[in-house]
């Protein structure tokens, strides 16, 4: 098995004085693997990603990146260390061009040659980014905009990418495109921590699946097996799996 690049260890986290949302969450993410976090609305999936990317400091527990304790570091430090977070919802700047959006992801790269090489690399991974380079991002379809977000996130060549509901609001065709691109990212060796409403679809393509309940991993295992696990059918996936 490849090495664990990101791990959440026994994380307890929440907001303000309210009871914690995460109550001892442990999730390992290995290089070149997609780990899919599923669970009902409000289970704490986005909260888990926020803790991983430094947007929310945990009350206890640790976040390890490449074996290094990075708990409590701010998001820009974590980004520089190789962890990128694509937030839930649409986060492209619609009034800016695709080029401007993608370049934002590489704004800390001072070396022009390296910057150009990264631009070429993300264009190769997401052809639509190159094809629509000069277009206003708001004119692209939802699936195309998601690919611009992915390209922006990959500009610093992260070792881990957190994807929060990347298929939200997309039709089946665009959803398929987005899933195919996640598979491509995995093939480049990136580790992906994925949160998805399309739980069954996501589990079918992921390596490891983790089901969140009451702030902890309730069930975890090989994602394809989880997708077919009858316990999930009624609870989280909207009906028993097709047999
Ligand atoms: N900024 C915030 N301030 C206070 N409470 C919050 C905040 N963000 C989330 N919560 C609460 O934390 C809990 C978990 O929210 P979270 O967004 O992590 O859930 P989720 O599993 O991502 O849900 P969804 O599937 O709807 O995206 C919810 O009860 C939510 O109301
Ligand atoms: Mg969420």
For residue 202, what are the contacts with CB-CB under 8 A and spacing of at least 6?
Answer: 36, 38, 179, 194, 196, 223
pTM of the full structure: 0.93
Q: What is the pLDDT of residues 200-234, one digit of tens each?
A: 889 999 999 999 988 999 899 999 999 888 877 76
Cα 217 to ligand 1 centre (Å): 16
The residue extents of the domains of the chain are 4-235
Q: What are phi and psi of 153, to 5 degrees?
A: -65, -30
Q: What is the pLDDT of residue 232?
A: 79
Ligand number, closest to the Cα atom of 41: 1
Q: What is the pLDDT of residue 180?
A: 93
Mean pLDDT, residues 42-54:
96
Query: Which helix or strand (DSSP H or E) is residue 34 part of?
Result: strand 34-38
Q: Annotate 43-110 with three-state secondary structure.
A: CCHHHHHHHHHCCCCCCEEEEEECCEECCCCCHHHHHHCCEEEECCCCCCCCCCEHHHHHHHCCCCCC
Q: Please say if the pLDDT value at position 241 is more than 80.
A: no
Mean pLDDT, residues 56-77:
96
Q: What is the pLDDT of residue 240?
A: 45
Q: What is the pLDDT of residues 123-140, one digit of tens each?
A: 999 999 999 999 999 999
Q: Please say if the pLDDT value at position 42 is more than 80.
A: yes
Nearest CA-CA partner of 60 in 9, 102, 98, 131: 9
Mean pLDDT, the chain, integer: 92
| Residue 1 to residue 69: CA distance in whole angstroms | 22
Mean pLDDT, residues 41-55:
95
What architecture is the 4-235 domain classified under in CATH? 3-Layer(aba) Sandwich (3.40)
Q: Ligand 1 pocket: which residues have CB below 6 Å?
A: 15, 21, 39, 41-47, 88
Name which residue sits closest to atom 6 of ligand 1, judged by CA: 15
For residue 189, what are the contacts with CB-CB under 8 A and spacing of at least 6?
Answer: 31, 32, 159
| Residue 233 to residue 179: CA distance in whole angstroms | 21
Name which residue sits closest to atom 5 of ligand 1, judged by CA: 15
């Amino acid at each position: 098995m490849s090495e664990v690049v990101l791990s959440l260890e026994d994380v307890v986290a929440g907001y303000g004085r309210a009871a914690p949302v995460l109550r001892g969450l442990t999730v390992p993410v290995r290089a070149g693997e997609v780990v899919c976090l599923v669970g009902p609305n409000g289970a704490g999936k986005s909260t888990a990603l926020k803790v991983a990317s430094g947007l929310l400091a945990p009350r206890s527990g640790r976040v390890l990146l490449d074996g290094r304790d990075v708990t409590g570091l701010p998001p820009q430090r974590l980004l520089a260390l190789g962890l990128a977070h694509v937030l839930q919802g649409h986060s492209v700047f619609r009034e800016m061009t695709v080029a401007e959006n993608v370049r934002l992801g590489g704004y800390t790269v001072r070396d022009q040659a390296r910057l150009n090489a990264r631009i070429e690399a993300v264009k190769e991974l997401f052809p639509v980014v190159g094809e629509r380079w000069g277009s206003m991002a708001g004119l692209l379809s939802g699936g195309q905009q998601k690919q611009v977000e992915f390209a922006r996130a990959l500009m610093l060549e992260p070792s881990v990418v957190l994807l929060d509901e990347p298929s939200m609001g997309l039709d089946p065709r665009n959803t398929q495109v987005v899933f195919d691109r996640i598979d491509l990212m995995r093939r480049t060796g990136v580790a992906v921590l994925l949160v998805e409403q399309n739980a069954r679809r996501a589990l079918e393509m992921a390596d490891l699946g983790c089901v969140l309940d009451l702030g902890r991993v309730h069930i975890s295992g090989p994602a394809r097996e989880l997708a077919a696990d009858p316990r999930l059918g009624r609870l989280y996936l909207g009906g028993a799996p097709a047999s």
